[in-house]
């Protein structure tokens, strides 16, 4: 994985939310922390072209997110904080299979890949369930399964544990550790951040600290708590 931010600034609703950001990201697990409204979600949304910079350039494995957005999105799987922003079909397996439609032409193989993704997360029993009967945590895991089924090269998580109870949160952490893909994780869950190789602290739209978990978490607690 190689993600490059080159002098990136982002404006939303006439307000700068990221300013002059330059970064090279290549580690296997990268955490992003910071106060609410600091620009964390904007930073990770730049990685798959959900958001484009007003100035500067974002490149993912050599692809410019502004010019090659379709190719970038085939590489980057994005898991939203609110699973309702991702789940569109009423039955769990239908939603996951739909996401595979353009990647897997064989309907039988789509079914197998969808079921395998659910099983990996320990929620294979949900396959025939109506999405509307699921708890928030179950919907979050279904949304994650839908992304994993597409086998992206890079994973981005925006607050993945906020709707999970302790049991599901611990299951997610164990699964995150075992994922073969590089992952970027935005979270207020500081315990989860100890699993990262590198942590970016974003504050007031700028990179305030960049380092290993022990140093980054100590800085964050001293300056942003």
Percent of the chain with pLDDT strictly greater than 90: 78
Segment 168-187, tens digit of pLDDT: 899 889 989 889 999 999 99
Task: Residue 178: count other Cβ atoms within 10 Å of its Cβ.
Answer: 8
Count the residues in the chain.
Answer: 225
Q: Is 171 exposed, middle or buried (CB count within 10 Å of its CB: 0-12, 13-18, 19+)?
A: middle
Cα 146 from Cα 93, distance rounded (Å): 9
Residue 224 — very low, low, confident or very high, per pLDDT cuts 50/70/90?
Answer: confident
Per-residue CA distances from 129 to 67, 74, 190 (Å):
39, 28, 33
User: Is the pTM higher than 0.85?
Assistant: yes
pLDDT > 80? residue 225: no
**CA-to-CA distance for 111 and 118, rounded, in angstroms?**
11
Q: Is the dihedral of CA 209, 204, 84, 89 positive or negative?
A: negative
Q: What backbone phi and psi angles, to 5 degrees, belong to 91?
A: -115, 140
Over residues 96-136, the pLDDT tens digits come to 999 898 888 898 999 999 999 999 888 999 999 999 999 98
Say which DSSP state 91 is in. B
- The answer to whether 18 and 47 have CB atoms below 8 angstroms apart is no
Look up tokens 């290993």; give the residue: 212
User: What is the model's pLDDT at position 186?
Assistant: 97
Q: Which domains does the chain have, with CATH numbers?
A: 3-79+86-223 (3.40.50.300)
């Amino acid at each position: 994985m190689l993600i490059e931010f080159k002098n990136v600034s982002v404006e939303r609703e006439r307000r700068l939310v990221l300013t002059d950001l330059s970064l090279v990201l290549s580690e296997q697990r990268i955490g992003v922390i910071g106060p609410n409204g600091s620009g964390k979600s904007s930073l990770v949304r730049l990685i798959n072209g959900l958001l484009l910079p007003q100035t500067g350039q974002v490149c993912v494995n050599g692809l410019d997110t502004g010019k090659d957005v379709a190719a970038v999105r085939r590489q980057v799987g994005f898991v939203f904080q609110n699973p309702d922003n991702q789940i569109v079909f009423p039955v769990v397996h239908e939603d996951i299979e739909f996401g595979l439609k353009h990647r897997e032409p064989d309907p039988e193989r789509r079914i197998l890949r969808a079921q395998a993704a659910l099983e990996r997360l320990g929620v294979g029993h949900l396959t025939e369930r109506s999405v509307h009967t699921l708890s928030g945590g179950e919907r979050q895991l279904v949304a994650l399964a839908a992304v994993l089924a597409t086998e992206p090269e890079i994973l981005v998580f925006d607050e993945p544990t906020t709707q999970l109870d302790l049991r599901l949160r611990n299951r997610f952490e164990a699964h995150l550790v075992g994922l073969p893909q590089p992952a970027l994780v935005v979270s207020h869950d500081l315990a989860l951040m100890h699993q990262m190789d590198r942590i970016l602290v974003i504050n007031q739209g700028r990179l305030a600290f960049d380092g290993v978990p022990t140093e980054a978490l100590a800085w964050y607690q001293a300056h942003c708590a």
